[in-house]
Structure formats: structure tokens, C-alpha cells
Structure 1
Amino acid sequence: MTTAFSQTAFTKAPRTPQLPTMPTGWPIGSYDSYEDAQRAVDHLADNDFPVQDVTIVGVDPLLVERVSARLTWGKVLGSGAMSGAWFGLFVGLLLSLFTPGAGLLPIVIGLVSGVLFGVAFAAMGYAATRGRRDFVSHSQLVARRYDVLCQPRNAEAGRDLLGKLAMSGSAARM
């Protein structure tokens, strides 16, 4: 049954699964970096290939945490003061806009209270770690390799196009 709000009423493209599902298709290329896999799919798209049949799959995923800085009380309190100042300034500006004849007083009060609350909350958060995490880091999900899969109906044509791309200079393990 098709309703006015169903997927098929708006588009004729195949539905992307809403729940996590295993990818399907035949491998048509394998690459060492996600950038190379993207370049391969872009090459397919540039050659009028039906890219809706293509999936990029990261194989052997890894969670990589890159440490970027040491965390100290000074950095924690300074960061808390700055973020609190921005929020306090925002609240103070809103109060001054909607309070006739208030002048700069709401802005100053918002700024000062924002700094105080920002420092207090940053200090509480850092103290709760008890020195077990004295560094700042950024996490990434990466894969050892990236496979390009294609549905069987177009896999041979896709493999041929990616083979031409590899012969023209882009490195692909096929």
C-alpha cells in the first residue's frame, strides 16, 4: 500500500536500509585509503556508471586515538572561562535586547556570571577524573583497507572502469 508519505511516493531510487545490515555486492576494487576509494567511485560517476549500486566498505576497522596536548589546571580553567564567557555574553546580549533601558548592565552580569560558572564546571569535571586523563585527544575510526563493492548486474563494467583508472596512474589493489 502506498501512502502520500511513503518513500516510493517521492522517489524511485532503491531504499537504503535503515537498520545496520551487511553490505552486498562483488568486490570491484580495493584501496589503502578512503580517499583513494572515493576517487575510484568518483571516477565511476564521471563515466556515467550507476553509482547507486556501489558501496565503500572499510575492512578491519580500528579506533585510533591521537593525543594532541597535555591537560593542566591552567588550560582547563582557561578553557572553562572562555566557553563560559561566550555563553554569558550571549545571554547578556539577549537580556539587554529584551529589557528596555537596561544599558550594558545585563551584558556585564552575563559575562561575569558565565565566566564564573564556566570555571566552576570545568574545575569540577577535571577534578572528577582525578588525574587519570591528563591529556586531550581526538578519536577516529579508520580501516586497514577500503573495498569498493558493486551489485552483480554492473560489477564487470565497474571492474573494467576501475582497471582503466589503475592503469592511468592511481594505485589500486585489484
Structure 2
Amino acid sequence: MTSPFSMSARQGGQPKLPTPPSGWPIGCYPTYEEAQRAVDYLAGDDFPVSDVTIVGVDLMLVERVMGKLSWGKVLVAGAVPGAWFGLLIGLLLGLFSQGEGLVYGPVVVGIAAGTAFGVVLAAANFGMNKGKRSFTSTSQLVAGRYDVLCLPRNAERGRDLLAKLALGQPPSTP
């Protein structure tokens, strides 16, 4: 059953379930930035870019280590979100408590309690995992290369335009 607010894949919307990309390859690039530049070039020539898909091939998860964790960093990292959560709870309690205006007691108590709970939870988590993961990192999904695919009806024109891009020629229309 469809709703009036959803688009089926036949109407130009995205498929609802994960599906492999379709189309013919019209370009291959070592970086996402270059593939994006190629699609921008096609768009600059009034190419129907809705027929184009950028596909990352040879995916890898890259984890970049940012630094070593210490007790001080862990406790501060737990205290800050705890204090914010405590502030939110304190403000809500202060707004709905008996009295004139905003009552500051619940706000102060909320911040103090939130900070304490944040520190305790962060310390417990770090203490249980000590030695197993005592560093911070960020993860990123990257591809070994990026293929630009196009539906068959415009693939030949797209390939010709990207050949002009490789030669350094500007798009034919501004």
C-alpha cells in the first residue's frame, strides 16, 4: 500500500529496500571528490543527472586513532553531557514547580545530580573496559574507487561529456 507522500521507484524515487545499483559505467575515479566533480560537470551541461549514480567500490572501514584515554578525559567526557541533561531536567522541574517565576533550586540540583551521574557512569564504563580499549578514534567508510553509472538511455552522451572533462574542456552550456 502506498501513501500520497511516498514515491515508488518507477516514479523516480529511491527504492525502499537495498538494491544493487544499475546502469552502465561512464567514469571511474580514485576519490569521491573527483566523482562528485564529474557529476557536477554533467549537471553543468544540462545532463539528466537523475540518471546518474556514484558507487563506491572496494569498501573499507578506516578507524583513525585520535589519542589515548585517561581518567581525566573520561570523567570530563561523562560530566559534560550529564550536566546538560541535569540542566534540562532542572529547567523542566523549575518551570512546573510551585512558586513565582523560575525556581533556581531544581536547576542547581539537576545540574549537580546530572554531573554526578554522568561522572559515575563514565567511570564505571571505563573501569570495566580498562586495557581493552583505552584510546579514542573515529571511523569512516571509504571506497577504493568510485564508479559513475548512468542509465543506458543517456550513457553514451555521459561518457562523451566525461571524456571532454578529462581533456579539460568546459561544459558546452553555462
SS in 1 for 2:11: coil
What amino acid sits opposite 1:40 in the alignment? A
2:116 is matched with: 116
Gap regions ≥5 residues in structure 2 = none
**For the residues of structure 1 that align with 2:47 and 2:4, how far apart are their CA atoms?**
31
Greater mean deviation of Cα atoms: 96-105 or 48-57: 96-105
Deviation of the 1:2 alpha carbon = 8.0
1:29 is matched with: 27
2:126 is matched with: 126
1:18 aligns with one of 10, 16, 19? 16
What amino acid sits opposite 1:148 in the alignment? V
Q: Which runs of 4+ in 1 moved over 6 A?
A: none
2:48 is matched with: 50
**For the residues of structure 1 that align with 2:148 and 2:69, how far apart are their CA atoms?**
40
1:77 is matched with: 75
| TM-score (structure 1 length as normaliser) | 0.87
Deviation of the 1:131 alpha carbon = 1.6
SS in 1 for 2:142: strand
| TM-score (structure 2 length as normaliser) | 0.87
**Residue correspondence of structure 1 range 143-158 to structure 2 within 5 A:** 143-158=143-158
Gap regions ≥5 residues in structure 1 = none
Distance 1:6 1:106, change over 3 A: closer
- CA-based RMSD of the aligned residues comes to 2.3
Distance 1:16 1:71, change over 3 A: same
**For the residues of structure 2 that align with 1:4 and 1:134, how far apart are their CA atoms?**
50
1:100 aligns with one of 89, 92, 98? 98
